[in-house]
Amino acid sequence: MAHDGIPDVHSEKSPFELDVDNVGLRGLRGPVMKIKEYMVIPVFKVSVSLPASLRGAHLSRLYKAYTGVVKPGAELTMDLLRQLAIRLLEVNEYAVRAMVSVKGRLYHVVNRVGVPEYSSNGFIYAGVRYERGGSVNEYSGGGIYGLTTCPCAGAVSRHIYGEPYTHMQKVRINAYIKSSKILIEPIEVFEKLNTVVYTPRNYLKRIEEAEFVKMIYEKPLFTEDIARLAAVKLAELVANRGISGSDGILYVSVRSYETIHEYIVESIVRTRLTDIAGFKIINKT
């Protein structure tokens, strides 16, 4: 019973005394926020742990903490997620851990000569898991759509017909870096992926279209090639920030939406940060 006589059902004893790993709110469509020159409409998930002794979590506390930290027009950073996780623990004294995650599509203007292009070809993902007492686990990632052509069909057709006939593929690259302390922002992962493959263009005149297609056909890549290349490029971020430790991992997935097949091709690279950092050093020599 609360001090004002209103029943506090959440604080009642649970009929099943089992800890709940996390309980909270998902699908929280946030206000428009900023990431450098990009705008993003984020979707948040916030939750806390619940001890076996309590029947339910106080969801209004979660939402109040969320709106107290997430503001329209604010910069969406890893630090903001950390602040929100800490705030969740402050207002839910019974919780031993708090979890915050976010995903969103990026919107920006591509600086082209002449007509500007409004692009939404970019995604960010990030999350933090804070344990009361200081234990931290975080991930920071991004995604992008790109274009490539099939190396196999091109090589075989060149051998048989003397021309590199092949098919174009649209690929989706997703990647994240996970460690006890992330020193990389999601936008940095996205921007690094943006250098791996050519990305779709919205405004192309006839000559520009021909030139663009020519560049794509001159850079044929398997999904395996793209996954490995993205992993090595992200390793540069890891090496430059000094992130280390056997607890950290790098994950890259590439999906190719085939044009001549009904199926989707997928390649995944998952490696420890220590291993990918060593791979980068070997390549430099």
Domain boundaries, the chain: 8-134, 139-285
Q: Are the C-beta atoms of 145 and 100 separated by less than 8 Å?
A: no
Three-state SS at 148? strand
> Which single residue is written with the structure tokens 């900023």?
34
Distance CA 246, CA 268 (A): 20
Pair of tokens at residue 196 = 């791996």
Residue 192 has pLDDT above 60, yes or no: yes
Q: Which of 9-23, 41-55, 64-78 has the lowest mean pLDDT?
A: 9-23
Closest C-alpha among 141, 223, 142 to residue 182:
141
Percentage of residues in the chain having pLDDT higher than 70: 91
pLDDT of residue 112: 72
Residue 282 has pLDDT above 80, yes or no: no
Q: Report the CATH number of the 8-134 domain.
A: 3.10.270.10
Pair of tokens at residue 31 = 């206000």
Tell me the fold of 139-285: Urate Oxidase (3.10.270)
CB neighbour class for 32 (10 Å; exposed up to 12, middle 13-18, buried from 19): middle
- C-alpha torsion sign, points 114, 195, 121, 210: positive
Distance CA 258, CA 264 (A): 6
In whole numbers, what is the pLDDT of the chain averaged over residues? 89
Closest C-alpha among 267, 246, 263, 247 to residue 255:
267
Distance CA 108, CA 106 (A): 7
Asked if domains 8-134 and 139-285 share a fold, the reply is: yes
Q: Are the C-beta atoms of 271 and 230 separated by less than 8 Å?
A: no
* Band (102; pLDDT cuts 50, 70, 90): very high
Higher pLDDT, 12 or 237: 237
